[in-house]
Amino acid sequence: MFKRISVLALFVFFVIILTGTIFAEPKYGGTLIWGRGGDSVGLDPICETDGESFKVTQQIFDTLVEYEPGTTNIKPALATSWSVSEDGLTWTFKLRKGVKFHDGTPFNAEAVKFNFDRWRLKDHPYHIPGEFKYYGWMFGDDLPGVIQDVVVIDDYTIQFVLKQKFATFLANLAMVPFGISSPTAIKKWGDDYFTHPVGTGPFKFVEWIKGDRIILEANEDYWDGRPYLDKIVFRSIPDNGARFMELQAGTVDIIDGVSPNDVEILKKTKGLKLVLRPSMNIGYFGLNQRFEPLKNVLVRRAICHAIDKEAIIEAFYAGLAIPAKNVLPPSLWGYNDEIEDYEYNPAKAKELLAEAGYPDGFEMELWAMPVPRPYMPQPKLIAQAIQQYLAEVGIKTKIVTYDWGTYLDKSREGLADSYLLGWTGDNGDPDNFIYVLLDKTNNDRHAYVNDELHEILVKAQQIFDQEERAALYKKAQVIIHNDAPFVFLVHSTPPLGLKENIEGYIPSPTGSEKLNTVWKR
């Protein structure tokens, strides 16, 4: 804990140094225009898995508990307090009174039960559209998952009865996908609810022009005080250069996905400032074991040896990243620093390919994301670099891409031989990286199965002692390293560009944050 607090203090100090900002007296009013690399996929948070969707839904919805700004420490939100039984199986939450959804209906224990029952019960009449990936990742795909029952004690007391001890339960509840929706709105809009979101959050949904912009307005009655801004506009500007030029021209107020090549220019431009998001991510090259050559662990290890991560970082991250050797970033407890990474060694890669029965290599598709992501600001260029590295050891690749939503869907269907993707942690727990990305129950994209790993990860979920859990996660990382289901590429420190008059913005390590404390000078 001491280490985490110290790191946070240093980070806040670092932000102040970078921005040259000491927060002044806030004022109300104005519109914030956020330029981002891609559009949202949907606005029903439980249905989505991508950061561009969460960036918006986090403004519209509240969760029962949430993270303190800039950290993953838990604090009250729609729940004001909570307790857990001695056996660790029953969690009781006291709910905030006097809160209303944006449609004017009351927030209460029945609304909480409606949401969780909708997510976890297949026979619930509003279990639509029915694929709530994040619920399965965090609470178990074998619905209803680890939550055995949700009981309304009274209007403002709700109880969760679990099947087993679940160490990450509270941290999971704070995650953006578990924002509480208006039951009335879900019943009204049905399958189309993802374009008509209604929560209790600081901003209300106004309009979505697909591929262009999403407009939100201030919730005057927000329980935590009216947000300072009158309006937020999330604009989709896929091209990094065009987005940066708009910031320079003053037509947007904040951009993320700043091209590392533009960081020095940004720092020197009068009227702009640089903010670095705390690093809690992994950018990786996924190897789908449905594809015959990639079933062979020697081939996967060969690919690990074939790619020069240091050169990729130097070329495409401007130093704002470190090479990754584990799925966990080193900022998380449980990180195994004793693991020795696969060195860049093309000759070794060729030896392994020959040993695996592919002395002349093979051909495969290499999928590249169409939009910049915090962990991969220039995916197309990185794909081209990987293509060259693989060609040097005899593996010919064809680069494939789709629009962002299609890319996510098709890769999740297991259609990509190999693919670029990444992950930004949601809650600061190792489970949120290892179980979500590499457990055999969450392997749609890569078909990686290791039963020993699964047993370790499930055991770690049922232990409250952090030291015991850390030991299990270190063991898990050894197994993953040997199996090489991914090439772990980088842990990045994502840069954001802001106009100098933007105040009160505290970037979250989870990749998105509420903007109710942001204001404009």
Query: What CATH number is associated with residue 93?
Result: 3.90.76.10
Q: Are 292 and 358 in the same domain?
A: yes
Is the CB of residue 328 less than 8 Å from the CB of residue 433? yes
What's the structural domain count of the chain?
A: 3
DSSP string, 15-64: HHHHHT----------EEEEEESS--S-S-GGG--SHHHHHHHHHH---S
Q: Are 423 and 286 in the same domain?
A: yes
Q: Are 368 and 330 in the same domain?
A: yes
Residue 106 inside a domain? The answer is: yes
Range of the domain at 229: 203-277+495-520
Residue 36 inside a domain? The answer is: no
Q: Are 383 and 253 in the same domain?
A: no
Is the CB of residue 435 less than 8 Å from the CB of residue 480? no
Q: How far apart are CA 322 and CA 332, in angstroms?
A: 15
Phi, psi of 206 (to 5 degrees): -120, -55
Residue 191 inside a domain? The answer is: no
Q: Are 313 and 422 in the same domain?
A: yes
Q: Are 268 and 359 in the same domain?
A: no
Q: What is the torsional sign of CA 323, 328, 330, 336?
A: negative
**Banded model confidence at residue 9, pLDDT cuts 50, 70, 90:** very low
- So what's the pLDDT on residue 11? 47
Residue 16 has pLDDT above 60, yes or no: no
Domain stops at, among 133, 163, 179: 179
Residue 1 has pLDDT above 50, yes or no: no
Q: Are 153 and 93 in the same domain?
A: yes
As separate numbers, helices (DSSP H) first and strands (DSSP E) second, the chain gives 17, 21
> Is it true that the peptide bond before 323 is cis, omega within 30 degrees of 0?
no
Distances (CA, A) of 31 to 198, 221, 498, 521: 21, 18, 14, 12
Question: Which position has the token pair 């809650």?
Answer: 427
Query: What CATH number is associated with residue 254?
Result: 3.40.190.10
**Banded model confidence at residue 6, pLDDT cuts 50, 70, 90:** very low
Q: Are 343 and 479 in the same domain?
A: yes
Beta bridge partners of 81: 94
pLDDT, mean of residues 166-194: 96
Q: Are 159 and 235 in the same domain?
A: no
Query: What CATH number is associated with residue 341?
Result: 3.10.105.10
Residue 13 inside a domain? The answer is: no
Residue 8 inside a domain? The answer is: no
Q: How far apart are CA 339 and CA 254, in angstroms?
A: 38
First to last CA, the chain: 35
**Banded model confidence at residue 316, pLDDT cuts 50, 70, 90:** very high
- So what's the pLDDT on residue 142? 87
Phi, psi of 419 (to 5 degrees): -160, 150
Q: Are 411 and 476 in the same domain?
A: yes
Residue 9 inside a domain? The answer is: no
- So what's the pLDDT on residue 372? 86
Residue 301 has pLDDT above 80, yes or no: yes
Question: Which position has the token pair 């299609």?
Answer: 406
Residue 373 inside a domain? The answer is: yes
pLDDT, mean of residues 192-214: 97
- So what's the pLDDT on residue 59? 98
DSSP string, 158-189: EEEEESS--TTHHHHHTSGGGPPPPHHHHHHH
- Residues 6+ away with beta carbon under 8 Å from 421: 283, 284, 286, 369, 411, 445
Q: Are 514 and 455 in the same domain?
A: no
DSSP string, 253-307: SEE-S--GGGHHHHHHSTTEEEEEPPP-EEEEEEE-TTSHHHHSHHHHHHHHHH-
**pLDDT tens sequence across 17-46:** 444 444 468 999 999 999 998 999 999 999
CA 278 to chain centroid: 13
Strand order through the sheet with 90-95:
79-84, 90-95, 157-162, 147-154
Q: Are 420 and 350 in the same domain?
A: yes
Give the percent of the chain with pLDDT over 70.
95
Instruction: Supply the pTM of this predicted model.
Output: 0.85
Residue 285 inside a domain? The answer is: yes
**pLDDT tens sequence across 395-454:** 999 999 999 889 999 999 999 999 999 999 999 999 999 999 999 998 999 999 999 999
Determine the 3-state secondary structure of 378 from DSSP.
Answer: coil
